[in-house]
């Protein structure tokens, strides 16, 4: 989505959607957009407080998209990159290549070749899916990946909440023997006690929170020691404003964070700015499958250098928003706001 001021300045934002249910997002946005007309775009915190709701994911996603757009607009107006408003710059955002989706007919060797390509592109960490098949088959897939990428590349696995309390410890034992660093969503996020047990088990760092928008749940993941890395999506957890609150809470508890990124170049860029600005961000997901509009990203955000994506001096989040107009992208929404 784009926010356009009376004097023609623009900010772009993006919100997550459940199961690609964009209709729910747009229905909610159509009700919210009129409330933005004539508002002061400088008052991001006030706008966020007025719009934020945890009643439904679409409420949270719309508020998140608007928040990202307003932060992008603020940075552009000031002529600075977004990271300059968020924290001390560390030159590059640490990233991992997110792929390894299940593909019909793909064998372990083909999966290994996919991961080897990511390493050849400069990534020092990769992620693949597990949990949909029986344990011996999945361990064979991870073994093939480890053989392909070498011992120094970090491997993360995403179990999509498919493991059970009864079997999860055995999975973690087997994965630890292969040098896997972390496991995302070994159990459903609602099973906070089960996740805490796995985190205490100590074999792998537990990552959880990917599609959770309720801050009380994310707070409980931290408070109960259920995660080694808190995961959130800036397009769902409240945009930049929500992400900063979660990062601060996790950092105070000594827990790293890892922004999830399943979307377009807009959400990818916003996540990279968070990673470049805040040291508590251990890794930013860089999706190798969901790469929509990545031609709009600056060159430094398209290929890693020294295991990170370089965030340059372009004002705002750095995305070329003319792509949304010239690239045939339908459904661009304009909301007029006032900025002094």
For 47-105, write each residue's pLDDT tens digit.
999 999 999 999 999 999 999 999 999 999 999 999 999 987 777 899 999 999 998 88
Structural domains of the chain, ranges and CATH numbers in brackets: 2-80+320-337 (3.30.390.10), 83-310 (3.20.20.120)
Ranges of residues in the chain with a pLDDT under 50 are 326-340
Which pLDDT value is given to residue 306? Answer: 84
Which pLDDT value is given to residue 335? Answer: 43
Which two three-digit tokens encode residue 108? 């372990």
- The helix or strand, by DSSP H or E, that contains position 66, with its residue range, turns out to be helix 57-78
Which pLDDT value is given to residue 193? Answer: 98
CA–CA separation, 303 vs 301, rounded Å? 6
- Beta-strand ranges (E) seen in 118-160 are 125-129, 154-158
C-alpha angle 41-47-51 in degrees, rounded to nearest 5: 140
CA–CA separation, 10 vs 71, rounded Å? 11
DSSP-assigned letters across all residues of 170-184: HHHHHHHHTTEEEEE
Residues 57, 58, 64, 67: is their CA dihedral positive or negative? Answer: negative
CA–CA separation, 178 vs 143, rounded Å? 7
Burial class (CB in 10 A: 0-12, 13-18, 19+), 197: middle
Which pLDDT value is given to residue 19? Answer: 81
Which pLDDT value is given to residue 324? Answer: 61
Which pLDDT value is given to residue 144? Answer: 98
CA–CA separation, 48 vs 160, rounded Å? 30
Which pLDDT value is given to residue 87? Answer: 86
Which pLDDT value is given to residue 82? Answer: 96
CB 311 within 8 A of CB 93: yes
- The helix or strand, by DSSP H or E, that contains position 229, with its residue range, turns out to be strand 229-233
Which pLDDT value is given to residue 38? Answer: 87
DSSP-assigned letters across all residues of 265-290: HHHHHHHHHHHHH-TTB--EEEESS-
Instruction: Let me know how many helices (H) and strands (E) the chain has, helices first.
Output: 12, 12
Report residue 331 CA to chain centroid gap: 23
φ/ψ of residue 39, rounded to 5: -75, 160
């Amino acid at each position: 989505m784009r926010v356009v001021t009376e004097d023609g300045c623009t900010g772009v934002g993006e919100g997550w959607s459940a199961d690609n249910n964009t209709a729910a997002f747009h229905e909610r946005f159509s009700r919210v957009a009129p409330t933005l007309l004539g508002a002061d775009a400088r008052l991001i915190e006030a706008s966020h407080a007025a719009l934020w709701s945890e009643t439904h994911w679409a409420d949270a996603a719309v508020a998140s998209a608007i928040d990202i757009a307003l932060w992008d607009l603020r940075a552009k107006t000031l002529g600075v990159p977004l990271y300059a408003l968020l924290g001390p710059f560390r030159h590059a955002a640490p990233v991992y290549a997110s792929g390894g989706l299940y593909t019909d007919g793909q064998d372990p060797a083909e999966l290994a070749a996919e991961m080897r390509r990511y390493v050849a592109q400069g990534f020092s960490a990769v992620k693949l899916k597990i949990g949909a098949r029986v344990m011996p088959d999945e361990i064979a897939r991870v073994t093939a990946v480890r053989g392909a990428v070498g011992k120094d590349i970090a491997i993360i696995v995403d179990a999509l909440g498919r493991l059970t309390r009864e079997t999860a410890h055995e999975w973690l034992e087997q994965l630890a023997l292969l040098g896997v660093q972390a496991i995302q969503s070994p159990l459903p996020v609602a099973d906070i006690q089960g996740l805490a047990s796995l985190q205490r088990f100590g074999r792998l760092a537990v990552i959880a929170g990917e599609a959770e928008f309720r801050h009380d749940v994310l707070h409980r993941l931290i408070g109960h020691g259920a995660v080694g890395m808190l995961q959130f999506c800036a397009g769902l957890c409240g945009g930049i404003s929500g992400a900063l609150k979660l990062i601060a809470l996790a950092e105070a508890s000594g827990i790293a964070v890892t922004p999830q990124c399943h979307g377009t170049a807009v959400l990818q860029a916003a996540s990279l700015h968070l990673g470049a600005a805040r040291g508590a961000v251990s890794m930013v997901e860089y999706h190798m499958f969901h790469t929509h509009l990545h031609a709009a990203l600056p060159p430094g955000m398209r290929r890693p250098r020294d295991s990170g994506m370089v965030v340059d001096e372009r004002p705002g989040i750095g995305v070329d928003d003319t792509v949304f107009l010239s690239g045939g992208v339908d459904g661009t929404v304009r909301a007029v706001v006032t900025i002094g």
